[in-house]
């Protein structure tokens, strides 16, 4: 299972990868884009799961903030790719 720190780093990494996905699209690399979309889905599920494991309201809030940011990223990626 993932820790809060793991998910925070993963979220940060997915936002950084967006630039690489723009280049992947330019080069017609549909496999990388599909893998990126699956990774975003997996991250959203991991954030939801860890949120259900915590009782600390501050951690739950932080996880939901990350979840909303990733959800926004996913919507953008689905629209553009």
The confidence score (pLDDT) of residue 1 equals 82
pLDDT at 62: 97
Asked whether 62 and 49 are in contact (CB, 8 A), the reply is no
pLDDT of the chain, 81 residues: tens digit per residue: 899 999 999 999 999 999 999 999 999 999 999 999 999 999 999 999 999 999 999 999 999 999 999 999 999 999 999
């Amino acid at each position: 299972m993932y820790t809060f720190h793991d998910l925070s780093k993963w979220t940060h990494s997915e936002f950084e990868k967006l630039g690489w996905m723009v280049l992947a699209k330019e080069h017609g690399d549909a496999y990388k884009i599909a893998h990126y979309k699956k990774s975003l889905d997996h991250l959203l599920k991991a954030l939801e799961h860890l949120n259900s494991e915590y009782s600390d309201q501050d951690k739950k809030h932080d996880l939901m903030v990350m979840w909303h940011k990733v959800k926004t990223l996913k919507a953008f990626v689905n629209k553009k790719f």
